[in-house]
Structure 1
Amino acid sequence: MTKRHPDSPSRFVIHRRSRKHLVFVDAHGVADVIPDVRRMAATGYPVEWNLIGEREKDTDAHVVIASLISARRTWPRIDDSDALRIYLEKQPMGTHLYIAASWTSARALARIAEMLGYAKEDIQIRGHGQRYDQVFCIACYTINPIGDAPTVLCRQCGKTIAVSDHYSRRLDAVLGYLTLDTMPKKEET
């Protein structure tokens, strides 16, 4: 079992109004989505399986998925590729995306789908791994990489910034606020 982020749902919600289900999963999320895929297959609507990353040797989970779904694709990388864009554009109205992958891959795929007109309500993400990769320093507007610590030393201004959960889609980063010890002090008169 993959360690999911605490904010990730344990199960996907299968929409009644969905006319097609597209499942995008990486190697770490395969076993976790089997119960969800069974529920999707029970709806009677088409389900397509999309593996993110290099195809590995089929595991028991892959065999179970293959018995439930006949349509399978492999995407070595999730990026803004023409093939992925065409694949998503050709899907019928009412298609829902269910993504069980690293947060980086899941966000990239969701961004592509939203640019193509998929509604946020039609995309569900069950992420694993580090949720955010970078933090935006509000003191000097520099984007910094995030480690495991709750604070980051800004590489531009040298101030300590606290990593928040306030995510900016435009910047693809969380906001970093100045900590109390780095805030400028008011001079007393």
Structure 2
Amino acid sequence: MYNSPVLFFESATLTEKLSPKTHFVKAAIICDEAYKEEAQQLQAQLFDTPSATFLFKDTANVRDFIVEQKMGTCFYIAANWDDAAAIFSTAVEEGLSEEELQVKIIGEKRKYIYCMKCFTASEIDTQATHVQCGCGAHLEVGPFYSKVRKGYIGYPFVPKTEGVK
């Protein structure tokens, strides 16, 4: 059974620094115009690997660039979380695997929890281990990410109250 890749807080595709993967025949760099310095740094590291760079203002026309690339291309994405997630989803829809993608988030990463009480996903602090859902449930942030529910599993618990025996 094939599980489609998903971009989440601890994705295998996330990296702190874009770095060349040597077993690909071509590189495609996709980044926001504000982060073109990232693209230039990576391009300098690619040496003899043919590469194409796509600087976007919005993610609407990224699909055309992805579709134009040949098989054996490694895609490097440098963008804020929202844009990176949109580009990642587009790339996966066009058939790319996690092996063919490398993502650097510019700015803050995002983390989501799925409440097992009200069945909704909501954004949480990336360091949180316990949160309170909008429905009022206290949740422990589980170690497992659900690709289907698009969040870490939140396990409900009853918080201890001080002074109660």
Could you say which residue in structure 1 is the equivalent of 2:5? none
Q: Given the alignment, which residue of 25, 28, 50 partners 2:54?
A: 50
Consecutive unaligned residues of structure 1, counting only runs of 5 or more, are 52-73, 183-189
Alignment partners' CA distance in 2, 1:129 and 1:179: 32
- TM-score computed with the length of structure 2 as normaliser: 0.71
CA contact (8 A) 1:104 1:131 kept: no
Could you say which residue in structure 1 is the equivalent of 2:58? 77
Q: Given the alignment, which residue of 154, 160, 163 partners 1:176?
A: 154
Task: Trace 1:37-116 onto structure 2 (pairs within 5 A).
Answer: 37-40=43-46, 42-45=47-50, 47-51=51-55, 74=56, 76-78=57-59, 81=60, 83-116=61-94
- The CA deviation at 1:88 is 1.4
Consecutive unaligned residues of structure 2, counting only runs of 5 or more, are 1-8, 161-165
Query: SS where residue 62 of structure 2 aligns?
Result: helix
Cα gap change, 1:50 to 1:175, in 2 (>3 Å): farther
CA contact (8 A) 1:11 1:36 kept: no
- TM-score computed with the length of structure 1 as normaliser: 0.64
Q: Given the alignment, which residue of 99, 113, 116 partners 1:135?
A: 113
Cα gap change, 1:116 to 1:152, in 2 (>3 Å): same
Alignment partners' CA distance in 2, 1:164 and 1:29: 34
CA contact (8 A) 2:54 2:65 kept: no
- The CA deviation at 1:107 is 2.3
Deviations 1:34-80 (A, max 9, x none): 4322012x1241x22222xxxxxxxxxxxxxxxxxxxxxx2x322xx
Task: Trace 1:27-38 onto structure 2 (pairs within 5 A).
Answer: 29-38=35-44
Alignment partners' CA distance in 2, 1:128 and 1:6: 15
Larger Rg: 1
Deviations 1:72-111 (A, max 9, x none): xx2x322xx4x43232122111111111222332222112
Alignment partners' CA distance in 2, 1:32 and 1:6: 21
CA contact (8 A) 1:160 1:178 kept: yes
- The CA deviation at 1:136 is 0.8
Is 1:9 matched up with 2:15? yes
Look up the equivalent residue of 2:64 and give its one-letter code: I
Deviations 1:15-46 (A, max 9, x none): 23322211122356443454322012x1241x
Could you say which residue in structure 2 is the equivalent of 1:126? 104
Alignment partners' CA distance in 2, 1:167 and 1:132: 13
CA contact (8 A) 2:112 2:123 kept: yes
Alignment partners' CA distance in 2, 1:85 and 1:143: 27
